[in-house]
Chains A and B, each alone.
Chain A
Amino acid sequence: MSFLKPILIAVIIILALLIIVKANRFATSDQPSNERPKDPVKPEKKPEKPNSQTPIEFFLVYVGRRVPVTHYPFTIGSRNDNDLIITDSTVSRQHAELFRKNGQVCLRDLGSLNGTIVNKVPRSEIVIVGGERIQLGTTVLQIERAIDDVSDDTQFIRR
Chain B
Amino acid sequence: MAKKKVQKKVQRTQKKEPARADKKYLGVQTLVLFILFQLVSLLTVVVSGRGKAYLYMMIPLVIITYGGWFFVRKMRADTPFFLDVAMLLTFGTMIQCMLLKEDTVPKSLLIIYVLSAVMALVAGFLYKRCSFIASANGTALLIVVSIVLYLATLVLGAAVGGGVRNWISVGGMSIQPSEFNKIIYVLVMAGLLCTKDHPGKKRIWASIFVTLVNLGFLGIQGEFGTFLLILCTFLCLIFLFVPDIKVFASIFSILVAAGAAVAACCVSLLKITGGSSNFGPMQFILNQVQKIVNRFAVWLDPNIDPQGASYQILQARKALLNSNLFGSDTTTPLSNPTNDMVFPALTERCGLLIALTVCILFGLLLIRGTRIYFHCQDRYHQAVCAGLCFQLILQSFIIIGGSIGMFPLTGITLPLISRGGTSLMATFIILAVILVISAGTLWNGRRDYSSYDSKLQKARAVYPKRVSSVRNRNRRRTRVDDTRES
Contact = CB atoms under 8 A, between A and B. Distances in A.
Interface of A: 1-2, 4-6, 8-13, 15-20, 22-25, 29-32, 35, 73, 75, 81, 97, 99, 108, 117, 119-122, 124-125, 135, 138-140
A25 B360 CA distance: 15
B444 A15 contact: no
B60 to A, nearest CB: 20
Contacts of B322: none
Contacts of A19: 30, 33-34, 37, 83, 87
Contacts of A140: 483-484
Contacts of A9: 44, 326-327, 350-351, 353-354
Given A9-B351, A12-B40, A24-B80, A122 B197 contact: yes
9 contacts: A5-B44, A5-B47, A6-B327, A12-B44, A19-B33, A22-B29, A120-B456, A124-B446, A135-B480
A135 B478 CA distance: 13
Contacts of A75: 16
B361 interface: yes
Contacts of B83: 19, 23
Given A120-B456, A140-B484, A29 B353 contact: no
Interface residues of B, number: 56
Nearest to A30: B12
Interface stretch (B17-25, B103-111, B277-285): B17-25
A24 B44 CA distance: 26
Contacts of A22: 26, 29-30, 33
Contacts of A124: 377-378, 444, 446
A139 B84 CA distance: 46
Given A8-B47, A12-B354, A138-B483, A120 B453 contact: yes
B364 A24 contact: yes
Nearest to B9: A81
Contacts of B353: 9-10, 13
Interface string B474-486: 0000011011100
A23 B79 contact: yes
Interface string B44-55: 100110000000
A30 B19 contact: yes
Contacts of A2: 47, 329
Contact of B37 (A4, A15, A24, A97): A15
A138 B15 CA distance: 28
B37 A121 contact: no
Contact of B47 (A4, A13, A25, A120): A4
Contacts of B84: 20, 23-24
Given A23-B26, A121-B449, 5 more contacts: A5-B47, A17-B357, A23-B30, A30-B8, A32-B22
Nearest to B452: A121
Interface in B440-465: 444, 446, 449, 452-453, 456
Contacts of A13: 353-354, 357
What are the 6 A-B residue pairs with the smallest beta carbon separation, nearest first? A6-B326, A15-B37, A73-B16, A23-B83, A23-B80, A8-B44
B156 to A, nearest CB: 42
A32 B12 CA distance: 10
A124 B446 CA distance: 10
A121 B483 contact: no
A6 B354 CA distance: 11
B480 A15 contact: no
B43 interface: yes
B372 to A, nearest CB: 13
A15 B36 contact: yes
Nearest to B27: A22
B22 A5 contact: no
Contacts of A16: 37, 87, 357, 361
Contact of A20 (B48, B79, B360, B484): B360
A18 B480 CA distance: 55
Interface string B341-374: 0000000001101100100110010011000000
Contacts of B360: 20
B3 to A, nearest CB: 15
B456 A121 contact: yes
A30 B48 contact: no
Contact of A35 (B22, B40, B449, B483): B22
Contacts of B453: 119-121
Contacts of A6: 325-327, 351
Interface in B417-443: none
B13 interface: yes
